Amino acid sequence: MNVTQQVASLNDAQQRAVTAKPGNYLVLAGAGSGKTRVLVNRVAWLVSQGESPYSIMAVTFTNKAAAEMRARIEALWGSALQGLWVGTFHSLAHRLLRAHWRDAGLPDNFQILDSDDQLRLIKRICKELELDDSRWPPRQVQWFINGQKDEGLRPQHIETHGDLFTQTMVRVYERYEQACQRGGMVDFAELLLRAHELLRDQRPIREHYQRRFSHLLVDEFQDTNAIQYAWLRLLAGEHGQVMAVGDDDQSIYGWRGARIENIRRFDEDFAGVETIRLEQNYRSTSTILRAANELIRHNTDRLGKELWTEGDEGEPIQLYAGFNEHDEARFIVDRIQEWLEQGYSRSDVAILYRSNAQSRVLEEALIRAAVPYRIYGGQRFFDRAEIKNALAYLRLLNQRDDDASLERVINVPTRGIGERSVQLLRDCAREQGVSLWQACRLAVEQRRLPARACGAVADFMGLLDELEVRCANLALHELVDHVIAATGLIDFHRKEKGERGQARVENLEELVSATRQFDPEESPYHDQEQELAASPLAVFLDHAALEAGDNQADRYEESVQLMTLHSAKGLEFPLVFMSGVEEGLFPHKMSLESGNGLEEERRLCYVGITRAMQRLYLCYAESRRLHGSETLNAPSRFIGEIPRELIQEVRLNARISRPVSQGLFSSAARDVPEGGFALGQRVLHKLFGEGVILNYEGQGAQARVQVNFDTEGTKWLVLSYAKLQAL
């Protein structure tokens, strides 16, 4: 099919956008209405009309989306397009700086500083400035510097108003800039800022690109920040033609500086803007679409759009009330397996969640069922840096001579043992043929390090020895809880500003939850053999090492996709689960503290719902152990904002109903598959007395139940041995 035929297959509004005469356009439309498709078609159409690919630049949100966009454009056109620029704001800015390094004031071999390198540099500067890092956490400084750059501000532009905090931050920012300049290093935010300054200050270069790029096309325009917007304006100049494509209802990066107002400003800042609205949705069933429309109607600050579809009504949205997070995960994985049997492919399925830490329980359920999965745009739980740090401390507790773990955390959180000292320790270990831990001891005894480092190493060793004593009689989950607090890891991340720090703290707390099942008395896996073989800590560490291994589905293997709601933007899947749709988790409790936080959460929910093409499941857990503590959450208000008639509650077994329900609707019921017991049922055990069944695990001879006994606490019991009596 050639380009003209392709364009003819679009609807009228889409065709109008694709074939629009030269000018500035805002394509404002809801999810799944073909905005990205319009953009792709517009590029191919421009080329088919004789425009040179050299004159076209298309910007999108992630590298992956950019690669996909180029592939789709070239597929439409039928061959590769030389000279066409497609990328993210960052990659395009980078390209400009590489081409004009001299004019941008950079060395020709300038390096990109990733976020970890940036943090390391900031730490060094804070130290030089003798800033106490408990008062001035380097991560907070990093957040500050990047935030200023995103607003286009250099240190000299920042008003300090005599405020000590700002003054100090600006002082670090200045030094940091000097260090980057000296070392020829450019961080991510700097790419945008510097490319902006290059175009702003170097008239010949600006005019060259303004002449070259007569067509600028931007996808996901609602999530551009101040500097990206400014950059776009400069590049467009007086004559450039911009087509900005976006959806105000999907603006979900306000917390990272994105400006939804850019949509409104576009009209004022660019000449003769014509707004084109696309209203037909091609992605979802009418039920899913109605749910999304009704939900987003609860937001006040909207530009207002309607979406309709010719598609089928489809099935109602399924709502599942999990008894707890394990039950929720099990339910999800059971459904996935059913679909796979029906012939769906694994890559048709996405599981979306609000917060990173939620992935752990889902990952475990998938691993147990041997369903390959990938975490899109993120890392598996046990691969995350903060988790690896905590595990390194735990490994050291277990085995001091574990050099890799020691190196990992000897200076995390920062305690004044710099790279030079670590090198001295390595040398000493090599000379003496001992472990790093032994080398630490020697170095302290023989004062082989500078006095400050010596003191710090001695403190570090003291910390581990003390932890060992303190933890001797703790249950595994208490031990982990104690270790992440006493080592300062929790505080270290808590001081980081923004979602990232918050996510790390949540992950660490989730690690505590993860260890509970390894405590003998709570463990469904527990048996005597295991107890004789190894401590729960050792068993857990092995488990973590295996899980962090090569379990992630290989790149080309079909796999179920797990991702946060944020990274699901722009994507679509036939089958979608949204898990953890609970008050406090989604909307996230942190969001309720800021004025428009709730509306941004609702937009995120809208993004989630509109990812689904055929089937959508909303799941929540009546009780959830997340980040180490157990909470009883009400179902999210977002569920209540979807019309009742669009939702069907899943009842796995309606015979027995649960006594406790936090549900909006009548509680869904579920019984234990073997033995005829129900969750929530009271039972009698010969030794432990009366209790309530909380959970179950496995089937047949493997079936175990967790019972909360009135006097003996919570225990996991093998059902076939326990001889429970129903009460």
Ligand X SMILES: Nc1ncnc2c1ncn2[C@@H]1O[C@H](COP(=O)(O)OP(=O)(O)OP(=O)(O)O)[C@@H](O)[C@H]1O
Contact residues toward ligand X (CB under 6 A) are: 10-11, 14, 29, 31-37, 247, 250, 282-283, 570, 572, 610
- Judged by beta carbon distances under 5 to 8 A according to partner kind, the member of Mg ion, ligand X, none in contact with residue 283 is ligand X
Burial of 423 (0-12, 13-18, 19+ CB in 10 A): exposed
Q: Which does 37 bind (CB under 5 to 8 A by kind): ligand X, Mg ion, none?
A: ligand X
Active-site option among 219, 249, 325, 599: 219
Q: What residue has token string 């014509």?
A: 274
- Asked about 481 being catalytic, the answer comes back as no
Please report how close the Cβ of residue 35 comes to Mg ion at its closest, in angstroms: 5
Please identify, using beta-carbon distances, which residue of 16 and 500 lies nearer to Mg ion.
16
Is 220 part of the annotated catalytic residue set? yes
The one catalytic residue in 197, 220, 348, 510 is 220
Task: Pick the catalytic residue from 6, 36, 228, 610.
Answer: 36
Contacts of 145 (CB under 8 A, 6+ apart): 122, 169, 172, 173, 176, 189
Judge whether 30 is annotated as a binding position: yes
Please say whether the beta carbons of 615 and 336 come within 8 A. Answer: no
33 annotated as ligand-binding: yes
Closest residue to bound ligand X by CB = 34
Does residue 34 interact with Mg ion by CB under 5 A?
no
Q: Strands 725-726 and 682-685: what pairing?
A: antiparallel
Residue of 180, 581, 520, 548 lying closest to 380 (CA atoms): 548
CB of 3 to ligand X, least distance (A): 15
Asked if 36 is an active-site residue, the reply is yes
601 catalytic per annotation = no
Residue 564, burial from CB neighbour count under 10 angstroms (0-12, 13-18, 19+): buried
Q: Which does 509 bind (CB under 5 to 8 A by kind): ligand X, Mg ion, none?
A: none
Determine whether 610 is an active site residue.
no
**Strand locations in 25-96, DSSP E?**
25-29, 56-60, 85-88
36 annotated as ligand-binding: yes
The distance of closest approach from Cβ of residue 569 to Mg ion in the complex, given in angstroms and rounded to an integer, is 8
Which member of 6, 14, 24, 36 binds Mg ion (CB under 5 A)? Answer: 36
Which C-beta is closer to ligand X: that of 43 or that of 329?
A: 43
H/E segment holding residue 532: helix 528-533
448 catalytic? Reply is no
The least distance separating Mg ion from the CB of residue 263, rounded to whole angstroms, comes to 15
The answer to whether the annotation marks 35 as part of a ligand binding site is yes
**Nearest CB to ligand X, comparing residues 449 and 613:** 613
What is the rounded CA–CA span in Å between residue 209 and residue 219?
20
- HSE toward the beta carbon, residue 519, CA cutoff 13 A: 17
- What residue 275 binds from ligand X, Mg ion, none (CB within 5 to 8 A, per partner kind)? none
Nearest approach, Cβ of 7 to Mg ion (angstroms)? 18
Selected binder of Mg ion within 138, 240, 257, 570 (CB under 5 A): 570
Lay out the sheet containing 274-278: strands in order across: 85-88, 56-60, 215-218, 241-246, 25-29, 274-278
- Report the partner that residue 70 touches, choosing among Mg ion, ligand X, none (CB closer than 5 to 8 A by kind): none
Three-class DSSP category at 408: helix
34 is in an annotated binding site: yes
Using alpha carbons, select from 348, 285, 318 the residue that is nearest to residue 32: 285
570 belongs to an annotated ligand binding site:
no
Nearest to 678 by CA among 707, 700, 650, 712: 707
Exactly one of 123, 354, 374, 611 is catalytic; name it. Answer: 611
Show the beta-strand stretches assigned E in 327-465: 349-353, 373-375
**Nearer Cβ to ligand X, position 33 or 411?**
33
Catalytic choice (142, 224, 250, 515): 250
- CB neighbour list of residue 59: distance below 8 Å, 6 or more residues apart: 86, 87, 88, 89, 92, 216, 217, 218, 219, 232
Cross-strand partners of 25: 243, 274
Name the binder of 282 from ligand X, Mg ion, none, CB < 5-8 A by kind.
Answer: ligand X
Known binding positions for ATP = 29-36
Residues belonging to the active site? 35-36, 219-220, 250, 611
Binding interface with Mg ion (CB under 5 A):
35-36, 570
